[in-house]
């Protein structure tokens, strides 16, 4: 079985993950809380208007999933001596939970990424056939280098740069999915 991963929201309501823009109507108080993360950097508010080619929607109309076990992110960060939360929880979602949604993979390559305010290059978005999906088994080198450089500069930094993202247009029921912590090695 192949999986995708989504950080467990701090204030989850119900048994479905909702894209941010859907929260505006369904859970306005959660929308107001979660939208705040887009105002921690001068470029990030532009993500609220960012269009996703091929899905014909906005960045916050989709759910964002990792195609790699989050242990790899945790290990890369801690191997560099960076302190982080040990018990961060993630939903381990079977890929077939996305079969009824329109879903794409955003390749998020360093070469074609020009920052949060730039358009996404059409070649960076591939419509995903969930039957053909394969989970990644290692982090891109550019991700690890990003962590190292930003840490050396003393900057706060994002956790998932240059890691392909699974973008799914629609809700996802997580009532019966496993919850894991990212500091648990999945090979144990």
Render pLDDT for 151-164 as a digit per residue (tens, 0 to 9): 999 988 889 999 99
Q: What is the CA radius of gyration of the chain?
A: 16
**How many C-beta atoms lie closer than 10 Å to residue 11's C-beta?**
9
pLDDT band at 188 (very low <50, low <70, confident <90, very high): low
Beta strand 16-17 pairing with 172-173 = antiparallel
Mean pLDDT of the chain: 93
Average pLDDT over residues 24-41: 87
Average pLDDT over residues 169-184: 95
pLDDT at 53: 96
Are the C-beta atoms of residues 74 and 84 closer than 8 Å to each other? yes
Angle, CA 46 vertex, CA 45 and CA 52 arms, to 5°: 125
* 46, pLDDT greater than 90: no
66 to each of 42, 48, 93, 154, 157, how far by Cα in Å? Answer: 25, 20, 10, 25, 17
Average pLDDT over residues 170-188: 89
């Amino acid at each position: 079985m192949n999986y995708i991963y989504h950080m467990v929201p701090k204030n989850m309501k119900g048994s479905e993950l909702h894209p941010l823009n859907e929260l505006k109507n369904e859970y306005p108080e959660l929308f107001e809380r979660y939208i705040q993360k887009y105002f921690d950097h001068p470029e990030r508010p532009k993500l609220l208007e960012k269009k996703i080619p091929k899905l014909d929607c906005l960045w916050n109309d989709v759910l964002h999933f990792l195609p790699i076990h989050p242990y790899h992110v945790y290990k890369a960060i801690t191997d560099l001596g960076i302190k982080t939360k040990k018990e961060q929880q993630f939903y381990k979602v079977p890929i077939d939970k996305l079969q009824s949604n329109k879903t794409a993979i955003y390749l998020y390559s360093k070469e074609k990424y020009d920052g949060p305010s730039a358009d996404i290059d059409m070649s960076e978005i591939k419509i995903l056939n969930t039957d053909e999906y394969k989970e990644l088994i290692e982090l891109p080198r550019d991700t690890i280098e990003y962590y190292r450089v930003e840490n050396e500069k003393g900057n706060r930094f994002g956790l998932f740069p240059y890691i392909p993202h699974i973008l799914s247009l629609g809700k996802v029921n997580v009532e019966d999915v496993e919850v894991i912590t990212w500091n648990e090695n999945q090979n144990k």
